Copies of this chain bind each other. A is one copy, B any other.
Amino acid sequence: MISRSPDLFKFRGVVSPRNLRSFHHRHPPPPPAPTMSDLRPPEHQVAGHRASANKLGPLVDGSGLFYKPLQAGDRGEQERAFYEAFSAHAAVPPRIRDAFFPRFHGTRLLPTEARPGEPHPHLVLDDLLAGLQAPSVADIKIGAITWPPSSPEPYVAKCLAKDRGTTSVLLGFRVSGVRVVAPGGAVWRPERPELKALGTAGVRRVLRRYVSSVSGEVADCALAAAVYGGEGGVLSQLRELKAWFEEQTLFHFYSASILLGYDADAVSATGAGGGVRVKLVDFAHVAEGDGVIDHNFLGGLCSLIKFISDIVSEAPETPPLAP
């Protein structure tokens, strides 16, 4: 069971998402409010709505912060409630919070291009790709089931159709977005319909291409050892996350994603390192765990681990010599 201290925010999961109490007193004061001219849509965004004159979308300020507009309806409050509960939860190991989650700096009203004169509340989070010169990024939505069990019928039906229409039910995850930077700087970024249409073989191809150093269709997996394998690589980080998911019964992360990132410049130049990042994002549908592990996320995570470890096993140990 989740132990709840009465003076902590009570996370109510999807059942009762509204709790508007301010938590600024528990977070370090965020830096001075950025003006609209400081803010821009993140260059490397691979999933979700892109901020524009017509749409709200995430913004970055170039100094390490990421501003995510609160989503409409319950979702925005739900995600804020999760961040507040998670940030303060005594049972979350600090190492897990620091390694695998964006740091939460509270919420902030910001001007937006889409709604001039009507400041919109944003979650203030760490920019997970800050410091990467040439970020290769993948957004992978985890879980065969993306709807919290308490969801109303029409929402279940809508999610189920998407989960069956993509690889979620079959593989326990789906690739929601990907961006790969080749050594010359060429960027491969398939459109959403292409990603939605992927089957098992297509997902395997994308995960291979994510660690390939060529810009064409052929995936050489030259970066697999450096990015997926080795100490601090994706695989070792995913396995650490898995160990936590085998035990944690606090939260069920429906419809959350694992964001992978590495610096294509750094990893190509050195053949190792490259600031590999493995982070959880998108918490609008998190539910209370209530003493039960998140078997749905865990199963999908294990499936992703198998895909990636298969690629590491097949891949060359070191990058091939230049021709």
Residue A39 interfacial (CB < 8 Å): no
Q: How many copies of this chain does the complex contain? A: 2
Whether A296 pairs with B144 at a CB distance below 8 angstroms is yes
Residue A200 interfacial (CB < 8 Å): yes
- CB contact list, A290-318 vs B, under 8 A: 290-293, 295-296, 298-300, 302-303, 305-306
Once the chains are docked, how many angstroms separate the CA of A164 from the CA of B150? Answer: 9
Once the chains are docked, how many angstroms separate the CA of A104 from the CA of B300? Answer: 31
Whether B295 pairs with A171 at a CB distance below 8 angstroms is yes
Do A290 and B145 contact each other (CB < 8 Å), given the known contacts A172-B295, A296-B172, A298-B299? no
Task: Convert A172-208 into 0s and 1s, putting 1 for each residue whose CB lies closer than 8 angstroms to a CB of B.
Answer: 1000000000000000000000000000100000000
Of B156, B171, B293, B306, the contact of A247 (CB 8 Å cutoff)? B306
Chain A interface residue count, CB cutoff 8 Å, equals: 27
Do A292 and B200 contact each other (CB < 8 Å), given the known contacts A145-B145, A306-B249? yes
Whether A200 pairs with B296 at a CB distance below 8 angstroms is no
Of B160, B200, B303, the contact of A295 (CB 8 Å cutoff)? B303
Whether B306 pairs with A302 at a CB distance below 8 angstroms is no
Whether B290 pairs with A200 at a CB distance below 8 angstroms is yes
Distance in Å from the Cβ of A163 to the closest Cβ of chain B?
10
- Specify which of A156, A169, A292 lies most central, judged by the most chain B CB atoms within 10 Å of its CB: A292
Distance in Å from the Cβ of A130 to the closest Cβ of chain B?
32
Whether B172 pairs with A149 at a CB distance below 8 angstroms is no
| Nearest-CB residue, chain B, relative to A307 | B292
Once the chains are docked, how many angstroms separate the CA of A293 from the CA of B291? Answer: 26
Distance in Å from the Cβ of A167 to the closest Cβ of chain B?
9
Residue A85 interfacial (CB < 8 Å): no
Question: Please, which residues of chain B bring their CB within 8 A of the CB of A200?
Answer: 290-292
Once the chains are docked, how many angstroms separate the CA of A145 from the CA of B303? Answer: 15
- CB contact list, A259-309 vs B, under 8 A: 290-293, 295-296, 298-300, 302-303, 305-306
Once the chains are docked, how many angstroms separate the CA of A249 from the CA of B302? Answer: 12
Whether B299 pairs with A295 at a CB distance below 8 angstroms is yes
Once the chains are docked, how many angstroms separate the CA of A100 from the CA of B173? Answer: 28
Once the chains are docked, how many angstroms separate the CA of A305 from the CA of B299? Answer: 14
9 A-B pairs closest in CB distance: A299-B299, A172-B295, A295-B299, A295-B303, A149-B169, A293-B306, A298-B299, A293-B303, A149-B170
> Could you write out 12 A-B pairs with CB less than 8 Å apart?
A144-B144, A145-B169, A149-B164, A149-B169, A172-B295, A172-B299, A246-B302, A249-B306, A293-B302, A298-B299, A299-B300, A299-B302
Given A144-B295, A246-B305, A293-B306, 18 more A-B residue pairs with CB atoms under 8 Å apart are A144-B144, A145-B145, A149-B164, A149-B169, A160-B160, A171-B295, A172-B296, A200-B290, A200-B292, A246-B306, A292-B303, A293-B302, A295-B300, A296-B299, A298-B298, A299-B299, A299-B300, A299-B302
